[in-house]
Amino acid sequence: MFSVLVLHGPNLNLLGQREPGIYGSVTLADINQMLEAEGRSLQTQVSTFQSNHEGALVDAIHQALNLHQGLLINAGAYTHTSVAIRDAIAAVALPTVEVHLSNIYRREEFRHHSYIAPIAIGQISGFGAQSYRLGLQALIEYLKTQTPKS
């Protein structure tokens, strides 16, 4: 059984009420419940964490080492600004999938750059809450290819 840490960055605690035209009406609790159910179907333990604070996200990434086999992250605005989160992911060297609810490449120019993408195994954006499900599925498929068969 795999274990995956799902990290939600700043302002994602306001999903369901924050700019519903961009982010939809699904709440963060809804997304977490969907991921936990999807994890069960994939025989994967899913742990979730949200913070509006960069350092708390960095600490959670560090703590993931030796606890989880992969990371699924929506770093929110930190995607475009945080070298610290990028460096933390690189330091723990856990396979990471970056997800976004909206298609960041159809939005403002400053959102087109991700510090995380170059060190992630993949990126999924633009599918609303389903971006998380697709990201989890992709991460588990990747982990299966990396795990020796006994």
Catalytic residue among 8, 23, 115, 132: 23
Q: Report yes or no: 136 and 47 within 8 Å, Cβ to Cβ.
A: no
30 among annotated binding-site residues: no
Residue 53 labelled as part of a binding site: no
Known catalytic membership, residue 23: yes
Query: Taking every pair of C-alpha atoms in the chain, what is the biggest distance, in angstroms?
Result: 48
* 102 known ligand binder: yes
Residue 24 region by backbone torsions, left for phi larger than 0, else alpha for psi between -120 and 50, else beta: left
Catalytic, 142? Answer no
Q: Is 41 annotated as a binding residue?
A: no
Active-site pick, 8, 100, 115, 132: 100
Binding-site residue ranges: 74, 80, 87, 101-102, 111
Would you please indicate which residues are annotated as catalytic (active-site) residues?
A: 23, 100
Binding-site residue ranges for substrate: 74, 80, 87, 101-102, 111
